Amino acid sequence: MSVAQPCMVVLVVEDLTLVRMFMADFPDEAGFKVFEAVSADEALTLLEARPDVQAVVTDIEMPGSMNGIELAQVIQERWPRIGVIVTSGRRQLGQDDLPKDVAFLTKPYLPETIINVVRQMATPQVVEPPLTQST
């Protein structure tokens, strides 16, 4: 009897339908459970309803009350355990342009790249308790 690995849950946020479908296909084919949102507002509603989301992949430019960078900031404040990847085909960003621990990928990117980054972000890190010294 083998123990099934838990399915990683990813939220893809992109306003352009074909691009969103394309972005969602990569993690879906890699065995992740994928949810989709067309705006930051919809993404926040989904995150409130789905505490199992482990990673968010968002475009920068979207309609609505905030862009992808602002969404990344809100996610880090409200759900610091969720990994965030910001993507853009029009803008180049440096690490100083993003919140701490947010990844940036330029479009187009290879499917393996997004999958590897999501896996790294969504994999729980084992923290060893400090050894106590006996006297």
CATH code where residue 14 lies: 3.40.50.2300
Helix segments in 30-78, DSSP class H: 40-49, 68-78
Mean pLDDT of 90-105: 76
DSSP-based three-state secondary structure for 8: coil
- Confirm if 21 and 30 have CB atoms less than 8 A apart: no
Kindly report, residue by residue over 25-73, the tens digit of the pLDDT: 988 999 999 999 999 999 999 999 999 999 999 999 988 899 999 999 9
pLDDT of residue 129: 52
Cα–Cα distance for residue pair 53/2, rounded to 1 Å: 25
Residue type, 115: I
Q: How many CB atoms lie within 10 A of CB 31?
A: 10
For residue 57, tell me if it sits in a domain: yes
Q: Which two tokens stand for residue 4?
A: 């099934």
**Range of 92's domain?**
9-122
Please give the residue that has the higher pLDDT: either 7 or 135.
7
For residue 127, tell me if it sits in a domain: no
For residue 3, tell me if it sits in a domain: no
Number of domains within the chain:
1
Residue 81's pLDDT band, with cuts at 50, 70 and 90, is: very high
pTM for this model (two decimals): 0.82
